[in-house]
Amino acid sequence: MEELAHAGVAELGRLLAAREVSAVELARMQLDRIERHRDLNAFLDVRAEVTLAQARAADERRARGEAGSLLGVPIAHKDIFVTRDWASTASSKILQGYMSPFDATVVDNLARAGMVCLGKLNCDEFAMGSSNENSAYGNVLNPWDKGAVPGGSSGGSSAAVAARLSPVATATDTGGSIREPAAFTGITGTKPTYGRPSRWGMIAFASSLDTAGLMTRSAEDCALVFNEMLGFDPKDSTSVDAPREDFARHLNDPVRGLKIGMPKEFFGAGLQPDVERAVRAALAEYERLGAKLVDISLPSAELGIPVYYVVAPAEASSNLARFDGVRYGHRAAKYDDLIDMMKKSRSEGFGPEPKRRILIGTYVLSHGYYDAYFIKAMQVRRLIAEEIQRAFTQCDVIAGPVTTSVAFGFGEKTTDPVAMYLADLYTVPGSLAGVPSMSIPCGFGDKGRPVGLQLMANHLHEAKMLGVAHQYQQATDWHLRVPQGF
């Protein structure tokens, strides 16, 4: 049974359909692994009785003749999605113990498909961070090297999939929070087009950027889960009303003749040699498969970081205003009046990073600075998006590194927030433009730590991007590598 921990979504679906294993057996096996590897601190809330009840219900559905590639397959959810049966805290003390009266749309869609939830996953507080060192409940460890960060903000999701504690996990990406942790832990992490997944029930950070996605073993697994996860949601005003589609339809398309754009700005100063070697080797593999590499330029990409750290904190300062101690969440035990209660509740409940971003956001939105900072940032954001659109007239997909380096050690960047923010240098442009992007494992760098290759496609071209990734994964085995001891 333990060997099934190394099976992906597609294989588990086939085994469940053939009645070679039951959903209850899979759930128990995964719960046992989660318990054995608690030192990773990937899970914040595990409730075995609820998980096993869902697994029994999945088995009963199959016994009644129901089918489905995801029916009975385990999944874990980032603690940024609200859930009825597990606490929803956004890894913050201000929401400690909060139980939502409803499930997020993403959670509900996958539950309807019969997926069995294993619990809630640790993340940076309110999804703010690049290292998972900002969680109020402690760091998540990287299974490849427990002295290294797993990436953030979806570090719990990436560590859980890398350590085979769950075959798939939900995650969110605001400026790179799916792709960067996926690269740091050697798994496949995919952010769809902004608006494709519903944001309803996803605790908000930056509303014009937040995008739900997945951590999986492979592109094939991601495609299967996207088929049930993505879709129009009338409860979300930013939801894209696009026809439902089969995201697996291009998996077997050869890449011969495909044009892969290489932004020269992604291969300049700052990119570490070990990462560059692995990425260029992956691109050479695509050439061997028949793809053509095309040099492109994204001249405004270097402005992505300053633009992002104006826009995202501005939206965060607005979104986090709802956590005031009045309606739900933490309330200070002692206070003099309403204003004092709000001040103390927020001071006690928020960690350093949300406070920092609230202050930055409030500043750039304040009178006298709104035009100089926020409006200017939105104008440059448009330039970045237009440059990416022009690039897609020269190539089918854009490829390059996900991060400048492999996973760094705990504490290496916590004293310098700007250095931490620069970790998102290559991922932020895709987020600002709202295009689908992903990280696939492509080798190892210094200290045996994983390296990821980033792929970007045009809006609503997830299926094409997943097919390009799948062809690489059919030709290589980096995505099958497992950390020692797991």
**So which residues are the catalytic ones?**
78, 153, 177
Give the three-class secondary structure for 180.
helix
DSSP for 268-281? STT--HHHHHHHHH
CA count, 13 A, side-chain hemisphere, 307:
27
Closest CA to 198 of 217, 216, 219, 172: 172
Strands (E), 187-256: 188-191, 211-216
163-181 per-residue burial string, b: 16 or more CB within 10 A, e: under 16: bbbbbbbbbbbbbbbbbbb
Give dist(CA 307, CA 432) in Å, integer. 9
What does the DSSP 8-state code read for residue 395?
-
Find tokens 């797993």 and name the residue.
150
**Residue 188 — φ and ψ, nearest 5°?**
-95, 120
Q: Is the dihedral of CA 30, 35, 36, 37 positive or negative?
A: positive
CB 354 within 8 A of CB 135: no
Amino acid letter at 18?
A
For the chain, the first-to-last Cα distance in angstroms comes to 14
Strands 397-401 and 292-296: unpaired
Q: Residue 57 has which token pair?
A: 């219900």
Closest CA to 349 of 322, 321, 335, 330: 330
359's enclosing H/E stretch is helix 352-365
Find tokens 């932004």 and name the residue.
263
**Cβ partners under 8 Å of residue 14, min gap 6:** none
CA count, 13 A, side-chain hemisphere, 305:
12
CB 192 within 8 A of CB 455: no
Give the three-class secondary structure for 261.
strand
CB 135 within 8 A of CB 120: no
